[in-house]
Structure 1
Amino acid sequence: MQHQNPFGSWAEAGQGHSSGSLWNSNPAPSVFGALPYPLPPSKTITYYFTGFKPDIFNCCVIGSQNQVYYQIVTDSNMPGYTVIKNAEGKNISLIEWQAHPFVEIRGVLAKQNVMNWLRVSPDNSYRSMEIRGTRYIWAPRDKSINLYSGGNGTPAMFLAKVTRSGNQTITIEMIPDAIQLGLLDPIVTATTLLLSGRNID
């Protein structure tokens, strides 16, 4: 069954397409509609997708001190594969672009369909993501896509926020708890997929 990417319009708009913005329309009803709007945490850790050549498929992810944490590489000789490498050059994630793409994250996620890992909600208003047996929620909120823990009858907790600035910078702001939970690799991978502008279902 085909699902509409609830973040697709935002990803496409950021790449210069004439698609409407998800945030300019009436929001779909959602069980997560009552999630608390996070005030800016007193302490966040920020990462930037930048240096697009010419887009997110070839760029780097840097920290606040311009230190490179990840490189996202799509070899022109193998355009069906995008590799995310850490600062040491080791492969962290592999995205295999097909009609129904696959994703694998070293030590975290066995190879599987992206549509199963970033599963669309029945009302197309959010995506759920499972890491090490814990469920997380990606939900659009105004001009950002926010990541929350919880959703299984437990209180939701804000963990991270992804925003786009123009066509050449994507920002991830994370609370320290997200780092301690080992979510940095999955968040960078999920952001790459969600903002790829491609059908990930």
Structure 2
Amino acid sequence: MNITNPYAQAQWANSSSDHASAPSLFGALPFPSSPLRPSIHLFHFTNLNPDILNCTVVGPKSIPYFRVSNNNPSPNFTLFQNREGRSIAIVEWIGSAGPVVEVRDIIHKQFVATWLQLTSDRKHRLMKARDRTFVWVPQDERVGLYTYGTTTPELYARLSRTEGGVTLEITSTAIQEGLIECCVVAAVLMQSGRLIE
């Protein structure tokens, strides 16, 4: 057995002229056709009664993930609850300065216009969450959430109106980074039809 030549152990010839006939390891491996992308999870805002301020947010496998209810616990409030019934966010619609939002353990109580701030050209909305800034960008019939201030913006979520409701596509990266609650609240605010400035 030739220990210095690993090809000889497989009974391939050792001569330099025979290297061309040796099988290629690289030819046996699949060649990636496109870069890997994070998986997408779909959430549907359903049972709009009469609008998105009263709805159920259904996630993968048709499991209800969130419940949105207006005028609960009292008039002029929209309450967001997770599937265990725990309050995760609230929007207060009273006050001349505009509505106020709070997302438990993520967004401290502040004006919606501050949290979902319009850019100076009034074409995009910045969103701060988890010590990062993101940007909601309108694209045809959708609104995409991207990383902000990076050379290559990364898509985190996409919001679109569908027949019978609203759909939020959110990447596994965004979910792992704890942004799902913020995306759901932002979607409701942007699709509410109410002034949020």
**Partner of residue 110, structure 1:** 108
Against the structure 1 CA distance between its residues 156 and 52, is the aligned structure 2 distance closer, same or farther, given a 3 Å change threshold?
A: same
Against the structure 1 CA distance between its residues 65 and 156, is the aligned structure 2 distance closer, same or farther, given a 3 Å change threshold?
A: same
Q: What is the rounded CA distance, in whole Å, between the counterparts of 1:178 and 1:130 in structure 2? A: 13
SS in 2 for 1:192: helix
* Per-residue deviation, residues 99-123 of structure 1 (Å, max 9, x unmatched): 3000000000110000000000000
Q: Does 1:47 align with 2:43?
A: yes
Q: Which among 149, 154, 159 is matched to residue 152 of structure 1?
A: 149
| Superposition deviation, residue 57 in structure 1 | 1.2
Q: Does 1:58 align with 2:80?
A: no
Q: Which amino acid aligns with 2:154?
A: M
SS in 1 for 2:134: strand
Q: Which among 163, 173, 178 is matched to residue 182 of structure 1?
A: 178
Q: Does 1:67 align with 2:63?
A: yes
Q: What is the rounded CA distance, in whole Å, between the counterparts of 2:118 and 2:178 in structure 1? A: 23
Q: CA RMSD in A?
A: 1.5
Q: Which amino acid aligns with 1:108?
A: I
Q: What is the rounded CA distance, in whole Å, between the counterparts of 2:187 and 2:135 in structure 1? A: 13
Give the TM-score, by structure 1 length. Answer: 0.75
Conserved? CA contact 2:38–2:172, under 8 Å? no
Q: What is the rounded CA distance, in whole Å, between the counterparts of 1:134 and 1:111 in structure 2? A: 17
Conserved? CA contact 2:72–2:79, under 8 Å? no
Q: What is the rounded CA distance, in whole Å, between the counterparts of 1:157 and 1:77 in structure 2? A: 37
Q: What is the rounded CA distance, in whole Å, between the counterparts of 1:112 and 1:42 in structure 2? A: 31
**Partner of residue 163, structure 1:** 160
| Superposition deviation, residue 42 in structure 1 | 7.1
Aligned length: 159
Q: What is the rounded CA distance, in whole Å, between the counterparts of 2:62 and 2:162 in structure 1? A: 17
Q: What is the rounded CA distance, in whole Å, between the counterparts of 1:117 and 1:194 in structure 2? A: 12
Task: Give the gaps of 5 or more residues in structure 2.
Answer: 1-36
| Superposition deviation, residue 54 in structure 1 | 1.3
Task: Give the gaps of 5 or more residues in structure 1.
Answer: 1-40
**Partner of residue 127, structure 1:** 125
Answer with 1 or 2: which has the greater Rg: 2
Q: What is the rounded CA distance, in whole Å, between the counterparts of 2:129 and 2:73 in structure 1? A: 32
